[in-house]
Structure 1
Amino acid sequence: MDLSYQRELVEGGQWWRLLSGQLVHNNSAHLFSNIVALILCRVLFLAVLSERAFVVSILLCSLITGGLIYFLLQHYDYYLGVSAALYGVLVAGSLHLIVGRHYWGGVLLLVVMAKLLRDYFYPAVLVSVSDRIGVPVAVEAHFIGVLAGVLLAVGQCIVILIRPATLPPK
């Protein structure tokens, strides 16, 4: 069963593809690279995100990213992989680190943005990655993931400001 994001099917009512499209991958190399990135994200944000908060962040970034791809990247007829949502988790986690006075989060944020800008302005560096994963790297979707991460972090800050006493400890 193909669960990839396909614009035509989403428009036909299969909204779950906004999430499921990020859970499927083109091949094992694509899946493996995303799993490694996911593990790296978890290690980076141990100080500021509980296990539950990390999983919720991934799911919310995936949903937000899927929705933003649908509404903002209307030329994307097909999409798969979780890398855009991982960019969102990297950005949201970096912002959490900064807010938590772990200032190396700022360095991490700069590194993430520098890589994204390099990929955008010098796409030739992605040829070997595209060859390995069997699909073009969706750099525009990665920018959408960054936007999703910012939206998630802002939303989480609003929740904390509104209900500080009711949130579970980290």
Structure 2
Amino acid sequence: MHTRKHQSHAMLQRYYFPLLFSVCLLMLQPWQESLLFQRNLIDAGQVWRLWTGNLIHTNGWHLGLNLGGFWLLIGLQQIAATPRTLLSQILFIGTGVGLGLWFFSPQVAWYAGFSGILYGLFMLSGVRCLQQRDWLLAAVLIIGIGGKTVWDWLHNGAGVTAQWIDAPVIYAAHFYGMGSGLVLALLPAPRTP
């Protein structure tokens, strides 16, 4: 009885933050215009857009694709176990995506989508699998996400995904996300008290 109760509590703890985060992404859609990464408005002082552009999407397909990828990582148990750690990872990678676009991709006038962060989480998970010697899952995660990014780059952001999301794929955001995820994976693990 005690073991079953402990397992239920652990499951609830593992899934409540990703569920809450997913609901937040859905609820932010009506504020797309106020949250979109728009270079001219960031330049005018609306700096929150550097980060909030990661939280809104161009349409329902775009949101659905990103949530599907997020829940795939959760299903594979490749998402941080604690809400605080997952939130920290999302904040770190999102900051890397926003600053990367701002400083290194001046041609990107606007950006919307969780995919930069998502690609970073995939990279982080893949490298952690390598560190744990889970070679197959590491290969699937790293080669899969890297291959998709190279594909988008070679097709200049056009293709089926671009048609679904009604916008070009901003593959630069994916590169910045993966780079941020790689940095996180290579940082020493924080010490627990």
TM-score normalised to structure 2 length: 0.74
Equivalent residue, structure 2, for 1:60 = 92
Equivalent residue, structure 1, for 2:20 = none
Alpha-carbon distance in 1 for matches of 2:88, 2:75:
16
2:129 aligned with 1:97 = yes
Cα 1:110–1:12, aligned 2, differ >3 Å: closer, same or farther? same
Equivalent residue, structure 1, for 2:110 = 78
Match 1:37 to one of 69, 93, 101 = 69
2:178 aligned with 1:146 = yes
Equivalent residue, structure 1, for 2:48 = 16
**Alignment root-mean-square deviation, CA:** 2.0
Equivalent residue, structure 1, for 2:8 = none
Match 1:115 to one of 148, 154, 172 = 148
Conserved? CA contact 2:126–2:137, under 8 Å: yes
Alpha-carbon distance in 2 for matches of 1:63, 1:69:
10
Alpha-carbon distance in 2 for matches of 1:71, 1:64:
10
Conserved? CA contact 1:22–1:81, under 8 Å: yes
Conserved? CA contact 1:48–1:97, under 8 Å: no
Which structure 2 segments of 5+ residues have no match?
1-30
- Write 1 or 2 for the structure with the bigger share of helix: 2
Conserved? CA contact 1:95–1:105, under 8 Å: no
Equivalent residue, structure 1, for 2:22 = none
Equivalent residue, structure 2, for 1:164 = 191
Alpha-carbon distance in 2 for matches of 1:47, 1:33:
18
Return the letter of the residue paired with 2:181.
Answer: G
Conserved? CA contact 1:48–1:96, under 8 Å: no
Structure 1 position 7, deviation (Å): 1.0
Is the radius of gyration larger for structure 1 or structure 2? 2
Alpha-carbon distance in 2 for matches of 1:112, 1:137:
14
TM-score normalised to structure 1 length: 0.83
